[in-house]
Structure 1
């Protein structure tokens, strides 16, 4: 779990992930992540996963974020590993910058693997 990696106009981002091989495991991972009070209060926990069930993603209200994560996992060839980008909304709309921040968060995570 890498916290406070990006901050922009009050919004803060974190990224986390781990081994995961199914939609059921992905939902369990998110449930476990939300057990941490800080992550339970997050505005969005967007995630993606490439596994034997196919390409899975969830925007969690951050429209398009799951697809951004998924495309990066496909390019990297990372399978059976969930990546979650968490955002705490800071009160100001970030527009297209939010996608840049999601990409940067995933890059930071992949570099730390």
Structure 2
């Protein structure tokens, strides 16, 4: 089981998975507004490790149904997270997939790794 941590309502699963040198973590927690989503990312990035990550891709469906996503340079990855949130009917909860690039481009597999990381988060209890 990967190491886990909680930081002010934030759940962090560090070392969720790795692929060809790239390492992934997945984090999440409750948010109800766009401002809270932004604050969540800022709080996560207060940890130097996350601030130095290649990508902190995230998505949330606000309680009013508004979808918000951010690819953070990992084009299309926010939509992958958003679609998984829709399938799970999970609102008011942000999920962040963090990637530290390992030197090898993953091509289309990067979307599979994002899905895998979100699944690790959703399956964790």
With normalisation by structure 2, the TM-score equals 0.88
Where structure 1 has 5 or more consecutive residues not aligned to the other structure, the ranges are none
Q: Residues of 1 paired with 2:81 and 2:97: CA distance?
A: 8
Equivalent of 1:25 in 36, 56, 63 = 36
Query: What residue in structure 2 maps to residue 72 of structure 1?
Result: 84
Mapped partners of 1:29, 1:49: distance in 2 = 11
Match of 1:108 in 2: 120
Whole-Å separation in 2 of the counterparts to 1:37 and 1:60: 17
Kept in 2: contact 1:17–1:82 (CA 8 A): yes
Query: How far is 1:53 from its partner?
Result: 5.9
Q: Which runs of 4+ in 1 moved over 6 A?
A: none
Aligned counterparts of 1:38 and 1:50: Cα–Cα separation in 2: 26
Unmatched segments (≥5 aa) in structure 2: 1-11
Among 54, 64, 73, the alignment partner of 1:43 is: 54
Contact 1:22 1:53 in 2 (8 A): no
**How many pairs does the alignment contain?**
113
Provide, for residues 56-104 of structure 1, a one-character-per-residue CA deviation record: whole Å limited to 9, x for no partner.
Answer: 0000000000000000000000000000000000111000110000000
